[in-house]
Amino acid sequence: MVIEILSPSTSRLDRLTKLNKYLQAGVCEYWIVDPDDKCVTVYISENGKFVVNAYESDATIPVDVLSGCEILMESVF
């Protein structure tokens, strides 16, 4: 599992370049946290592709690689 916190200077790198490299490297779960928009984009690897889910700041997000683990985003933002 990889979690990236976006900053204006790395947004493009995190959303495109790193996303593809993580998929190629076999990363099972990749989160991109956007502190400005208070949202999280979660990519779950399935059959060699990432499935994307988007969450708002009031969501409880399940951690796919840790069965039973959830993160309440209100406590993060």
List domains and CATH numbers for the chain.
2-75 (3.90.1570.10)
Backbone angles phi, psi at 13, to 5 degrees: -60, -45
Average pLDDT score, the chain: 92
Q: Which residue reads 């400005």 in tokens? A: 36
Q: Region 14-38: what's the mean pLDDT?
A: 91
Number of Cβ within a 10 Å radius of residue 16:
10
Backbone angles phi, psi at 21, to 5 degrees: -65, -40
Q: Given this model, what pLDDT does residue 13 score?
A: 82
Q: Which residue reads 């190629």 in tokens? A: 24
To the question of pTM greater than 0.85 for the whole model, the response is: yes
